Chain A
Amino acid sequence: MKPILELRNLKMYYDTQAGQVKAADDVSFVLNEGESIGLVGESGCGKTSVSMSIMKLLPENGRIISGNIFFDGKDIVNFSDEEMNKIRWAGIAMIFQAAMNSLNPVYRVGDQIVEAITAHEPNVTFEEARQRVANLYKLVGLDPERMDNYPHEYSGGMKQRAIIAMSLACNPKLIIADEPTTALDVIVQDTILRELEKVQKKLNMSMIYISHDIAVIAEVASRIAIMYAGKIVEMSDSVVIFKRPAHPYAIGLMSSFPSIRGEKKELVTIPGEPPNLLNAPDHCRFAPRCPFATDECWKQTPSYSEIESNHFVACFHPQNLKKLVNMNA
C-alpha cells in the first residue's frame, strides 16, 4: 500500500501572550491510500490543530515549528499559499466541525459547491459542474432540487450532508472529517457515518476521522490514534485498541463508556484533568493522572515505540489489560 499522508514529528505551537501553547508535539503517523484512521482525544488535546496543520489553515499566531507533512510524496510544510490552494480541496478536503456555520448564508448551497469545482477545474462549465453537484447530492442522499436553496432553508442533517457532498466535489485523495457528526442526534449521526464510509470505500479515498467519541470512530476507522495533550499516546488497529489498550490513558478511555453487550461494569473515570498545554511539562504529560507513574515518568517524555507489530505506544509502562483485570478481581 502506498502512503498518501505522512506526518513526521510535527510540532505546531501557538504563540500567545502568556507563552507558547504546544498544541501538537511530535505527532507522527502514516496514512495509506484508501485507508481510514481515527484521531481520538478529549477537547483541547490538539486534534483540530493537527488537521488544520495538514490543511495549513492555521491562525496567525499558530505556526509549524518543525517536522514534515508529506502529502502524495511532497513535503507541504514549506508550501506557499498559492501552492497550498492547489492542494486544498482538490487533494485534501475537509468536513468541518461546525457544519451549521460552514456554509455561507448569502449564497445558494449548490453554488458554493460549484464554486469549489470551478476553482480547481477551470475548464469545467457551469452546467457540467451543476450536474456533478446533482450527482453528489444523490450520493449523499439529498434531493438535487434543493441545490438552489440557501443554507438557512436546510435542516442540520441536510447541511451536514451538503458539506459531505461539498468535500467530495473535487474527488480529493484525502478527506479530513473533523467531528463530522457532533452536532447531530444519534440516529442521524449513524446514518451519516455509514454513508460516509460507503462513499469512502466506493471512491477509494483516505479518511481521517477526528472525534472525542471513540465509539463513533470505532465504527468507521480501521486504525485509531489516541491523542492526549498534544501527543499521540497510542496507535493501532481499532480492534487492538479496543481489545488490548496499552497506554494507561487509553485504558481509561476504554473503561469510561458502557458496553451494550457483556456484563455491566462500573464506569471508570480518570481522576484529574489534562495539563495546560501552555508551557507544557518535559515529563510524560499523563504522569500526574497516571496510576502507574514512577519516578522515570516524572523525569522525561516516553518515546513513541512499537510494542507489538503495528501497535505504537508512548509509555514507559505499557499495560496488559488482561493482567489488570485479573489483578482487580
Chain B
Amino acid sequence: MMLKYIGNRILQIAILLVIYVAIVFFLLHAMPGGIKTLLISNPKLTPQAQEAIIRAFGLNQPLWLQFVDYMKNVFTLNLGISFSYYPTPVWNIIAERLPRTVLLFTVATLIAFFVGFASGKSLAWNRGKTTEYVSTVVGIITYTIFTPLLIFVVIWFFGSFLGIFPLNQFLNPDLWIHTRLNAQIIFLYILMTMVIIGAVMLASYTIALRFSHKVITRRMIFYLSSIISVIFSIFFWWVSPVGIYAADILWHMVLPVMTVTIISYAGTMLVMRDSMLETIKEDFITTARAKGLPDKVVRDKHAARTAMLPVVTNFVLSLGFVVSGGVITETLFSWPGMGMTLLDSTLAKDYPLAAGALIFTGIFVLIAHLVVDIVYAFLDPRIRY
C-alpha cells in the first residue's frame, strides 16, 4: 500500500518536474533584455561573428525548437556551461554549492521547527500567563520583520559590536590557504555525519518502540543512543585531521542559522499554539485527564502529538520560504550557496546557471514535499493510501 502510494507520488512529482522545467524556460525567456542581445551586445563583434554566435547557440531557430532542445538537454542531464564562469559546466557549480545550502537550511529549519514546536506547545499549555503574551508578540515581530534589517542587526551586533562571530563567507581563507583540501568535500562529510546521526536516532526510536513498552526505557534507549552517536561523531571529527576545517565552517554557520531560525520559528510556534489550543478542547484530552495520567503525559503524548499534524503541513509550506528567503540570507551573509547563485546568475544574465539553480531549487522543494507526505502517513493513522 505504502510503496504503491510512494510510487504514485514519485510519478506525480516527475510530471510536476517536467512542467516546472518548462516554466523555467519560459520564465528565463521572459526576462527583459533577452539572450540574443546579451550575446551580441559587444560592439567589437563583427556581424559575421554575431551571426556565428547566434547560430552556435541555436538562437536562429524558432522558439519551440529551442524549447525542445532545452527540455532534451535538461532530461539528458546536460545543463550546459555557465556564461560567467566559462568554461565551468553548470553541473560542477551546482554540485559545489548545493551542499552548502542544504547544510545551512536543513540545520536552521530543523532548529526552527523544534524551537517553534516546543514553545508553541508550552504557550498553549500555560495559556493566559504573561509569558504567553510576551512570546506571542515577540514571535509575530520576528515572523513579520523585514529580513535584511534583521540580518544587518545580527551582523552588526554579533560580528561587529561583540566581534565573536565572523561577519560573512563560509570559511576563513587564512586557515584554508595552507591546505589543498576542497571545502566541498568537508561539506559533504558534515552532511553525511548529520545523516548518520539522524539515522541512528530514527533506528533507536523504532527499536525502542518495538522492544519496550515502558516510557522510561524507551526514552533511555533513544537518548542514550543519540548522545552516544553525537559524542562518537564529535570524537571522530576531533581526531581527524580535517576536524578543524569542519569547525571553521560550522563557526561561520552560526549567524546565518541563527537568523533563519529567528525568522522562521515563529510560524511553527503560532500554528502549534493555535492547533494545541484547539486540541486541548477535544474530548479525548478530558478522557486522558480522567484516566489520571500525569499532566506531562496528557500534554505531550495526547495533546501535542495530535496537535502537531497541522504544524507539519505548515512546515511544508515554509520550505518554499526557505528557498526564497535563502536568496536574501545567503546574499547578505555572502554565503555562496544556491540562493546567492540564483541571484548572481540572474543579474549576470547567466542563463544556463540560472536555469540550473531554479531547476535544483524545484527538485529540492518537490522532494521535501514527498518526504513530508510520507512522514504524515506515519504521523496520522487516519491517512491511509
Contacts and interface: CB of A to CB of B under 8 A. Distances in A.
Given A106-B379, A106-B381, A115 B286 contact: no
A96 B289 contact: no
Given A81-B295, A101-B282, A106-B306, 14 more contacts: A88-B289, A90-B292, A96-B290, A101-B283, A104-B284, A104-B288, A105-B382, A106-B380, A106-B381, A108-B381, A115-B291, A116-B293, A119-B297, A126-B213
B306 A104 contact: yes
A5 B381 CA distance: 40
Interface in B283-331: 283-284, 286-295, 297, 302, 305-306
Given A101-B284, A105-B382, A152-B382, A119 B293 contact: yes
A72 to B, nearest CB: 15
Interface residues of A, number: 34
B284 A105 contact: yes
B290 A88 contact: yes
Contacts of A118: 213
Interface string A109-128: 00000111011100001100
Interface string B363-381: 0000000000000000111
Identify the interface centre among A114, A116, A166: most chain B CB within 10 Å of its CB: A116
Contact of B294 (A85, A87, A93, A116): A85
Given A104-B306, A106-B305, A57 B286 contact: yes
Interface of B: 128, 213-214, 282-284, 286-295, 297, 302, 305-306, 379-382
10 contacts: A55-B290, A88-B289, A88-B292, A97-B283, A104-B306, A106-B379, A114-B213, A119-B291, A150-B382, A152-B381
A96 B283 contact: yes
Interface string A79-96: 001001111111001101
A102 interface: yes
A57 B291 contact: no
A71 B302 CA distance: 28
What are the 5 tightest A-B residue pairs by CB atom distance, in nearest-first order? A88-B292, A126-B213, A101-B283, A85-B292, A104-B284
Contacts of B213: 114, 118, 125-126
Nearest to B309: A106
B306 A105 contact: yes
Nearest to B282: A101
Contacts of A88: 289-292
A98 interface: yes
B290 A115 contact: no
A89 B294 CA distance: 12
Contacts, number: 76
Interface in A254-292: none
Given A106-B381, A126-B213, A152-B382, A89 B283 contact: no
A116 B283 contact: no
Contacts of B305: 106
A87 B284 contact: no
Contact of B291 (A81, A89, A98): A89
A103 interface: yes
Contacts of B302: 104
Nearest to B285: A104
A86 B293 CA distance: 9
A15 to B, nearest CB: 13
Contact of A98 (B283, B290, B293, B379): B283
Identify the interface centre among B284, B287, B288, B302: most chain A CB within 10 Å of its CB: B287
B369 to A, nearest CB: 22
A98 B287 CA distance: 10
A108 B294 CA distance: 20
Nearest to A111: B213
B292 A86 contact: yes
B171 to A, nearest CB: 44
B299 to A, nearest CB: 13
Contacts of B128: 60
B39 to A, nearest CB: 58
A84 B292 contact: yes
A254 B306 CA distance: 44
B212 to A, nearest CB: 9
A252 to B, nearest CB: 32
B290 A103 contact: no
Interface string A24-56: 000000000000000000000000000000010
Nearest to B290: A94
A119 B292 contact: yes
Contacts of A126: 213-214
A91 to B, nearest CB: 9
Identify the interface centre among B214, B289, B295: most chain A CB within 10 Å of its CB: B289
A81 B297 CA distance: 14
Contacts of B282: 101
A75 B87 CA distance: 86
Nearest to A125: B213
Nearest to A116: B291
Contacts of A55: 290
A122 to B, nearest CB: 9
